[in-house]
Structure 1
Amino acid sequence: MESIIENIDLELLQKNVKKISDLHSLIQNVLKKDYDYGIIPGTAKPTLLKPGAEKICMLFELTPKYEFLQNIEDYSNNFFSYSFKCSLYKNENVVSEGVGSCNSKEKRYRYLLVNNLSSNYSGESEKVQDKYGNIKYRIENIEIYNYINTILKMAKKRAFVDAILQVASLSEMFTQDIEDLTDLEADNNFKMNFGKYKGKTLEEIYKEDKSYLVWLKNNEKTDEKIKKACDNLLIEENAKDVNDGNKLYQ
């Protein structure tokens, strides 16, 4: 059996190692903290976010192409699941591949957090405490259809980031799983940093101008976490006015 070590060009190997090191330094200088990547306390590596992955993709002049691996849309059981393979091309050659999936049973999509339960609410609920010590109620999200497109896009994003992390050993610098495994439930205390309600929390805006939350929720440019928080607040408002006993909330 031929030894691979005997045929290694050490000089070339050292040059490649230096190239990778220089490339990592360049990427660190280009990417912005809390926008392109995030740091979660207690984790060893920063988490690469979609904007950062897209920036790296442009830096390497790569073109992503997606392939459906699985597509389940079960409307009768409120279950939706998507899996993708992302292939990154450079001059028509595949340089990296990644896979990703997402489904409606994941905690962030399956449940909603509300401050109060309607007297007409007949479903299961779990009393929980948020990070501020406030009591909330976790209820089943029966309007999962509103999140089908979000679930599909999340599966594509996971496949894309997975493929990017395999380019030039970037998995040494970043991780992807932490972002998805961390509980990213919408936070009503999120403070707006733009618009006419800059400086106010979503909950404060909700009490003052519910129509603005509707606008945020339906705006394509709004961050998905903010959309989820708006949805939670608006659903809670609807839950107070339940008159149809056949609905959990409306």
Structure 2
Amino acid sequence: MTKEVSVAVQQHAGQIADVISMKATVQDVLKSQMQEDVHYGKIPGTGDKPTLLKAGAEMLRMVFNMSTICEASDVTIDTDDKGHKTYEICMHILNKEGIKVATGLGCCSTMESKYKYRSQLTDRKVPSEYWESRDKALLGGSQYSPKKVKGAWLISERVEHDNPADYYNTVKKMAKKRAMADGILTATCSSDLFTQDLEDLNANFKQYDGVEQTEEKKTPVTTDKWEFDGETEKVKTNPNLLDKPGDDGTPIPNIDFPTSTDNELKADSIKAILGELYDYREDWPSVVKAWPKLSSAMMLLSDKQQKFIIAYKDEIKAHHRDGKGMI
């Protein structure tokens, strides 16, 4: 074996070792540091691989001391005179030596339904018979959906946004985020561990707040399995917490603790967290968005109390998954 061949073999072996080490590091970070719905998400019907979120991409970038250079590759202005724009972004990924190792591509447009349409509230109440059949015809058609406002359910209409410029900055940032996730996946050889960014799959989500509303009839979810007793605490649950909501609001679980200032604060925290989850129970993306804040509020609670709240969140997620097309 010549000296040149020997050096090439050693370099090749070193590259393989680097890839193996990088993949092992990514797997370790995924298991030990990343949190579901914060750094990655899992979307039913899209395979077993989690989807890499912006926070997860930023964590991997920091772990491997990578840097990024953003380049706006193209801006397309639609010719319909409504002012819609499409942004394409290139995100160059540099290693710690400053060498470009990957380029991510991301695209976003104000023509995407989540930006093209908005929700406009009407003064019409949701008819009581709607909750039995979930027939959109009772609301006025497929462009209408129920929306809870101050304890009352009103009919909301999906209408086209009249000023796309309101979202220029938002869609540009979304294109940048998608490009970074794509670039980090390539640079860290993580495409076999993660799939595309969560927002790229927003058509799979049921959105009550004005876009792509594909509500399906749901099977009532019971919460009996959440009930537990302890020496110092007891949680009682409503058997139909996620079932038909009333105009006065469906009750959240009653929390019983021994009387003390500390326990009163904990009880108030649990009620507040469960109340917010309940408000979002029909809109899983809002649960995902609110979860980091709610997780911080849970820090004062016991492990048992935290598990109860997490179980409620997981039940909401399962509730949407079973709805077929709702998430």
Same fold (TM over 0.5): yes
Instruction: Report the alpha carbon displacement of residue 168 of structure 1 after superposing the two structures with TM.
Output: 2.7
> How big is the shift at 1:89?
1.0
Deviation for aligned residue 1:77? 1.9
Q: What pairs with 1:113-192 in structure 2 (closer than 5 Å)? A: 113-116=119-122, 126-129=142-145, 136-176=156-196, 179-183=199-203, 184=205, 186-187=207-208
- SS in structure 1 opposite 2:143? strand
Aligned residues: 190
Match of 1:138, SS state, is strand
Q: Which runs of 5+ in 2 are unaligned?
A: 1-7, 125-140, 210-244, 246-268, 280-286, 291-327
What is the CA–CA distance in structure 2 between the aligned matches of 1:136 and 1:88, rounded to whole Å?
43
8 Å CA contact 2:53–2:198 kept in 1: the answer is no
Q: Which residue pairs with 2:108 in the alignment?
A: 102
Gaps of 5+ in 1: 1-6, 119-124, 205-222, 227-250
Q: Residue 40 of structure 1 aligns with which residue?
A: 43
Q: What amino acid is the match of 1:181?
A: L
Counterpart amino acid of 1:71? V
Q: Percent identity?
A: 29
- The match for 1:23 is 25
Q: Distance in 2 between matches of 1:225 and 1:110?
A: 21
SS of residue paired to 1:169? coil
Q: Distance in 2 between matches of 1:134 and 1:164?
A: 43
* Equivalent-residue separation in structure 2 for 1:165 and 1:17 (angstroms): 13
Give the counterpart of 2:99 among 88, 93, 102. 93
Equivalent position SS for 1:171:
coil
Question: Aligned in 2, Cα 1:82/1:11: closer, same or farther, shift over 3 Å?
Answer: closer
Return 65-74 or 55-64, whichever deviates more: 65-74
Structure label with greater radius of gyration = 2
Q: CA deviation at 1:72?
A: 3.4
Deviation at 1:39, TM superposition (A): 0.6
TM-score, normalised via structure 2 length? 0.49
Q: Residue 178 and residue 49 in structure 1: after superposition, are their counterparts in 2 closer, same or farther (change >3 A)? A: closer
1:81 match: 86
Q: In the TM superposition, what is the alpha-carbon distance from 1:127 to its structure 2 partner?
A: 2.5
